Structure 1
Amino acid sequence: MTVDPTPLVDPRTYLHGVPYDLLAALRAAGPVAWVDEPPLLGLPGGPGFWLVLRHAEVAGVLKQPQVFSSRLGATQVRDPATPDDLAYVRRMMLNMDLPEHGRLRRPVARAFTPRAVAALEASIRANAVTLVERVLGDADEGTFDFARDLAADLPLLTLADVLGVPEPDRWLLYDWSNRVIGFQDPEYAGSAAFDPDAGTALARQALRHRPAPDADGRMPDPRTRAGMADLYAYAHLLAESRRRDPGPDVMSVLLAERGDERLSVAEFENMFWLFAVAGNETVRNGLPGAMIALLEHPAELARLRRDPALLDTAVDELLRWWTPVMVFRRTAARDTEIGGRPVRAGEKVVVSFTSANRDERVFADPDRLDLGRRPNPHLTFGHGPHFCLGAQLARCQLRALFEALLARTTDLGYAGEPVYLRSTFQRGVKRLPVRWRRAAARPSLP
């Protein structure tokens, strides 16, 4: 029987969760499947793509950048609207191949070494405790929105440290992420949660460049420079501030580079975009996804409470089970093959992290959450030269937040149904009502 993959390209599918049964059927049929791209929700049709489903083939595509290029068509599944849009996004590290990719990655990598992350860990743990104590307050039990009240703010506080963004401006990052990641979701596409009166003069100046909706109420495509003019304005204002008063943050490091590793204006703008958006979203959606995983597996939640030392392996299993970034695109640079299927030069190749992380050939009983799973070669952070720089930072944030929350509560459960993001790219959680009961004794601050 032929399996129809069309639901995978409709963002409305994901309002009801990931279609794991469909992915499993496609994976059983072969390592890759051809997927058409019909016109949908105002987007024009596309040429279609090869969807890579199995773990071995996904890893194989990602570690061969000379065959499967990030630059040729960039890394978003839908093609950029114009040649100019494509040319601009090619200046982002995410959309580069070697050697250019290495030139940009090397200076940034210094901010994400184990030693650098360890230096941030105390601050991350303190922020996690502060956020948990704030939502619990003085009550013995209650409810809160895990997605908004905890999961949204911790990565914003962390990124403010990493990027050198003044803390009052951190909710600007939230709006930018919403507009980019949620462009298929009307609730997020015009996000304006940031209060200018609570921000800095830099933020208010940048907001003068915020794009306005058109006559139909639609914001311009956030995958273009015009669609994120306020972000780029802020990047330049922040750069001026960092040049005057440099610190240990990533922006100061980049601005201090000289010679061959010095960034062009377009590269700097796109690097800020990458950190402000991509650096936020994986953690922001990984956190509530991890909470859902634990609520759906109460025995594993109880296991984690009994053995907090399990957190290190638990974090990776939670990220495997949820997988915030579902897909990424490459373009075949020459005629080749994947799993015995011929792929022609210029064809789109889309790797499914969601499918690879549930591949029965690699993970025993893959739909089951096992917080002690070893080994756990999940691909949540990618593979090969584009492996996520912030992987350790993401793990640190998940560990810190659940350590703080579980230490201060004895009971957690759903207080309502989760609300998911309408997106084919990010497995997002917009709202997650959680009920809680406080632990009898409050732990000391870290």
Structure 2
Amino acid sequence: MTEDAARIPDEHAQTLVDPKAYADGRIHETYAWLRANNPFGRAYPEGFEPFWVATKHADILEISRQNALFLNGDKSPTIVNAETDKRIREMTGGSPHLLRTLIHMDEPDHMKYRTLTQAWFMPQNLRKMEERIRGVARASVEQMAATGGKCDFVREVALHYPLRVIMEIMGVPPEDEPRMLMLTQELFGAADPELARKEEPDPAGKLTPGVITDFFEYFRKLSADRRAHPGDDLASVIANSQIDGQPISEFEAMSYYIIVATAGHDTTSSSTGGAIWGLAENPGELAKLKADPSLIPGLVDESIRWTTPVKTFMRTAAEATEMGGRRLDKGDWLMLCYASGNRDEEVFDDPQAFRVDRKPNRHLAFGYGAHLCLGQHLAKMEMRILWEELIPRLQSLELAGEPAMSQAVFVNGPKTLPIRFSMA
């Protein structure tokens, strides 16, 4: 297969790395073109190392299940331009990573570090927290009701409900939640002019050393306190963790706190907002839910598929191989386009539609294989509980203005969602 045949047209290659395209919807036009015309092609966007692009559900699954062949740690697991990669390596003494979290690790480290907290996120443990989470959900519904029938659902509900849950699990006091929310938005929204830290906006959406420094300073104090006074929370688990009989390094502990604290609420916030957006645009789907509340788990999965908060991850080929009928060399970089896989016409009937009764719903939003999202059960439980509390009371729902998505290639979702509603 010649390079020309594999090459993705430049306009589509540039769209893949343009944060604005993920906000205005152009990315889905590019995904649809790629699935139809070049489902496993190579992109050569200006300023970036060339990379392969997997847009089909089957290819994304195949790459995700081969964790020894397609690595997370050799290069950045999130897309960065060449200049940003160079600056990060200069700052870190050669490493492509400003953090070392589970998403930056391969075996054997990945499973060792995953096991440290895995039990906290298993269904049998989460069931013990259901009533605590339901209390937070009820408070969120009451707060929504108190707005008088009009609110920005993202800013007034979706951002705060999962944040309260994960901070309670971690052991972060409520008064510190606004700081955690601000830092998370600055980290994931580094390419968005409205969300980025003003003194260090980064169009590539990755180089945020000031934000990471602030996270480190906060979690250093929390970690020291939990080593001295361990409690029944996730921060105590991380602060006192050991690998192979030795305490984990401060850098890895701080990285662990950051991934749990940010990914633990931001993606759930996005899917929660996506659910209300989908229901507001499709009143018949809300009617289905009110007539049959057993469809609520279907709403959860469909909102996760439809929104797909984690849009992309990168992998690096550990050796020469073939994928999608094309030859890859050792060291080649690959982009997994989850939001494209989740709208693959060969897997999903009418994939652009929002359907709460979609069955089956084999979405890829949590990833697959060894890197399957650690918090998937918590995310689905949080959303289920919120909808169990809200849907029976929600009498009407419509958009009250133009929603907007955040500008980001890695993690994005609704950032404003004005709605008008009535509640019983």
TM-score by length of 2: 0.91
Give, in angstroms, the shift of residue 434 of structure 1: 0.7
Write the mapping of 1:8-407 to structure 2, written as runs, cut at 5 A. Answer: 8-17=16-25, 19-38=27-46, 45-78=47-80, 80=85, 81-83=87-89, 84-85=91-92, 86=95, 88-89=97-98, 91-137=100-146, 141-190=148-197, 213=199, 223=207, 225-258=209-242, 260=244, 262-407=247-392
Is the alpha carbon distance of 1:76 and 1:19 closer, same or farther for their aligned partners in structure 2, counting shifts above 3 Å? closer
* Number of residue pairs the alignment of both structures matches: 408
Distance 1:221 1:428 in 2: 15
Distance 2:281 2:97 in 1: 42
Distance 2:249 2:313 in 1: 26
Give, in angstroms, the shift of residue 319 of structure 1: 0.9
Is the alpha carbon distance of 1:342 and 1:161 closer, same or farther for their aligned partners in structure 2, counting shifts above 3 Å? same
Give, in angstroms, the shift of residue 220 of structure 1: 12
Deviations 1:335-373 (A, max 9, x none): 112111111211210000001011122112222222222
**Sequence identity (%):** 34
Is contact 1:221–1:227 with CA below 8 Å preserved after alignment?
A: no
Bigger Cα displacement from structure 2, 98-107 vs 248-257: 248-257
State the SS of the aligned residue for 1:104: helix
AA aligned opposite 1:228: I
State the SS of the aligned residue for 1:375: coil
Distance 2:203 2:56 in 1: 36
Is the alpha carbon distance of 1:150 and 1:14 closer, same or farther for their aligned partners in structure 2, counting shifts above 3 Å? same
Distance 1:242 1:396 in 2: 27
Give, in angstroms, the shift of residue 411 of structure 1: 0.5
Deviations 1:200-253 (A, max 9, x none): xxxxxxxxxxxxx27xx8799864545421110111100112123222222211
State the SS of the aligned residue for 1:437: strand
Deviations 1:401-434 (A, max 9, x none): 2222222220011111102211122232111011
Unpaired segments ≥5 residues, structure 2: none
Unpaired segments ≥5 residues, structure 1: 39-44, 192-212, 440-446
TM-score by length of 1: 0.86
Distance 1:220 1:59 in 2: 26
Q: CA RMSD in A?
A: 2.2
Give, in angstroms, the shift of residue 278 of structure 1: 1.6
Distance 2:243 2:306 in 1: 43
Distance 1:157 1:224 in 2: 24
AA aligned opposite 2:71: S
AA aligned opposite 1:190: R
Is the alpha carbon distance of 1:321 and 1:221 closer, same or farther for their aligned partners in structure 2, counting shifts above 3 Å? closer
Paired residue for 1:201? Answer: none
Give, in angstroms, the shift of residue 154 of structure 1: 0.7
Is contact 1:75–1:330 with CA below 8 Å preserved after alignment?
A: yes
